[in-house]
Amino acid sequence: MAGASRIVGVLVLALAAVSLSVAYAADKTVYQYIIFGDSVTDTGNVFKDGGVPDPAIYFKGRFSNGPNWVDYINETLSSKHKVQIFNYATGGGVACRANLNSTRYPYSRDAVNQTGNFLADLAKGKLPTTKDTRRISLSWFAANDVIVGLTRALTSGADPATAGAQIVADLATCLAQHVATLAGAGVAEVALIPQSPVQVSPLVLDYLRPLVSQLVDAVDGALVKAVEAVNAQLGAAPAGSAASRAHVYLLGDSKWIGRIAPAVRPAFKYISENPCFVNPVSSMVLTPGIKVCENPNDYAFYDEIHPSTTFHKWFALHGLLPRLQLFRLAPRDV
């Protein structure tokens, strides 16, 4: 009896294995990722328009010494699945237009412009759409709004607490508009990557780290409320409308991003203390003669604000991917 049930058990397992492999073989899903953000996410848009960052020290239009997180996610998913990437992120990208200085950085685009460029491409039929297409947006405006807003406040002598509250409120409003627009335009799965823990970057002076850290915590809290409000609106949208089918996924808060650099193995020799090199002006301004350190992957930060490719790889594969998989925004068999 025990023997028979064991045989039946084995048979059931064997059948399950067969049907699983059939399911995989039949998976025609095309994962189409529409990507928005700043230099951490740009895979060559600013380089195509403006020739920066300097190809002598940066990798193929990435603001790093090698591939960035978009490249790593694409590489991993593409090994088993059909993946399409449409990346609208630009170096200097910001969520709020008020934080854009187009005189200084003519090739940077804010979230409204990036979203508009996507919608224009969609209208022109540049994004393949079939019954197997899953269109998923990923937005990561990692740091610029906080940095620009805080720099403006500190140089104008504004009260940091008051200015900080305004920065947080504005950022939450701009991101809520961005994700609501995508949802309304027929992107059913809209993912928002949280604020990065800017306080750990070498750019931030030690005495300012506690203030920046508070600001980042406040952004984390504000985004939870903002995304909740957008999802409530989507839930109340007329049945059958694009919005009623959409959902916004906030992928946690800044804390998990902060835990990546200390977890990387082999361990970084330097995290916040110093980067591999510092740009005298900005990575968005060509400055010949910069000397890069010998072993960039000893550093969490390649320059004063941008992570090294080793960080990008860990962020992509050990941080972001499992979170996308948790919400079924990426296939689980990679």
Ligand X SMILES: *[C@@H]1O[C@H](CO)[C@@H](O)[C@H](O)[C@H]1NC(C)=O
Applying CB under 6 A, the residues found at the interface with ligand X are: 74-75, 78, 85, 101, 103-104, 109, 113, 116-117, 120
d(CA 192, CA 269): 30
Element (H, E) at 34: strand 30-37
Instruction: Provide the CB-side half-sphere exposure for 76 (13 A, CA).
Output: 22
Cα distances from 286 to residues 39, 105, 185, 280, 282, in angstroms, run: 15, 12, 37, 10, 8
- By the 10 Å C-beta count (0-12 exposed, 13-18 middle, 19+ buried), 69 is classed as buried
Report yes or no: 249 and 327 within 8 Å, Cβ to Cβ. Answer: yes
Whole-angstrom distance, CA of residue 85 vs CA of residue 64: 19
Residue closer to ligand X (CB basis): 85 or 242: 85
Nearest to ligand X of 41, 74 (CB atom): 74
Q: Which amino acid is at 16?
A: A
- State which residue, 116 or 258, has the beta carbon closest to ligand X: 116
Instruction: Decide whether 60 or 318 has the Cβ nearer to ligand X.
Output: 60
User: What interhelical angle do 111-123 and 160-184 show, nearest 10?
Assistant: 10
SS3 14: helix
CB of 229 to ligand X, least distance (A): 25
Hey, what are 221's tokens?
Answer: 């809290």
Nearest CA among 153, 250, 260 for reference residue 197: 260
Cis peptide, bond prior to residue 280, ω within 30 of zero: no
Residue with tokens 């005189």: 103
Compare residues 116 and 186 and give the one whose CB is closer to ligand X: 116
Nearer to ligand X, 157 or 240 (CB): 157
- The residue nearest ligand X at its CB is 116
E strands in 53-177: 82-87, 133-140
Tokens of 286: 């060509």
Nearer to ligand X, 42 or 220 (CB): 42
Which has the closest alpha carbon to 87: 70, 104, 103, 73? 70
Least Cβ distance, residue 103 to ligand X (angstroms): 4
Nearest residue (CB) to ligand X, 43 versus 308: 43
